[in-house]
Chains A and B, each alone.
Chain A
Amino acid sequence: MELIFIGLAAVALISGILVVFQTHPLRSALWLIVNFFAVAGIYLMLHAEFIAAIQIIVYAGAIMVLFLFVIMLLNLRHPEEPTPRPYAAQKVAGFALSVAMAFFIAFGLAHVNLGPAAPAAPGLGNTESIAKLLFTDYLLPFEVTSVLLLVSIVGAVVLSKSKLK
């Protein structure tokens, strides 16, 4: 079982590295889709079947398709220009600061006292327990996210108009 996790984690990490260091955004988008599939596989191992399916449908199937649409719409001829000289130090600083931040976060996470893991409780399946919480305790955020999606749709339509009358 650990071997499956190590395989999925390796796929996720390698595709993540490839997302950051590709020249063309199209290749980055495809490697990001691989990353999402690997993380969805890890969700399946963590007893989160509903979220794994939602991740594949929404993240890899809708958001990344939107990305691919826009990338092909823009139709860039020269994907990445060579970096002008003043930005080399900026890139080194960005890399170093991100690694330092990762170490700080890992240090903080290692020194937290979580308490014992909860015992496995038999009962509802994953989708039923999510639905049970979603429509009782989290009803207000659920309705608010529908308003949020409406706002984003209106914003996307307004921003895509060619001439603002």
Chain B
Amino acid sequence: MVVPLPYILGLSVALFALGAIGVLIRRNILIILMCLEMMLNAVNLAFIGFADYFKAVDGQMFVFFVLTVAAAEVAVGLALVVAIFRQRATVYVDDLNILKW
């Protein structure tokens, strides 16, 4: 065991919390999307840590699929950001309040 599992999980929790702080604090939609990617990255790290602990490659399979889903999500999310920017000329979530009653 090169790296003990608690260290990997601790780093994963720290990165996940950092991503969550970024999603909650920032107002720029691009930075929110980037912090979302950081949260997915933290979950990938936990998967790889467990895959190494149990010597089962299934954890790495899950990382494969999480990576693919993250790529698809970023493509659609950024297309949405570009469409919103064309319409409203803003990237701040405070200005996106058309659905507010």
Contact = CB atoms under 8 A, between A and B. Distances in A.
Q: Do A and B bind each other?
A: yes
Interface of A: 1-2, 5, 9, 12-13, 16-17, 19-20, 22, 25, 28-29, 32, 35-36, 39, 42-43, 45-48, 50-51, 54-55, 58-59, 62-63, 66-67, 70-71, 73-74, 76, 79-81, 83-84, 87, 90-91, 94-95, 97-99, 101-102, 105-106, 109-110, 114, 117-121, 126, 129-130, 133-134, 138, 141, 145, 148-149, 151-153, 155-157, 159-160, 162
A142 to B, nearest CB: 8
B55 to A, nearest CB: 4
Contacts of A22: 31
Say what secondary structure dominates the interface of chain B.
helix
Given A42-B45, A67-B78, A130 B9 contact: no
A39 B48 CA distance: 11
Interface in B2-19: 2-3, 5-11, 13-19
Given A46-B49, A102-B17, A130-B60, 5 more contacts: A13-B14, A32-B37, A46-B8, A94-B25, A105-B16
Given A20-B22, A98-B24, A101-B20, A71 B30 contact: yes
Contacts of A129: 57
Contacts, number: 221
**Residues of A contacting B: mostly:** helix
B61 A46 contact: no
B89 to A, nearest CB: 9
Contacts of A141: 65
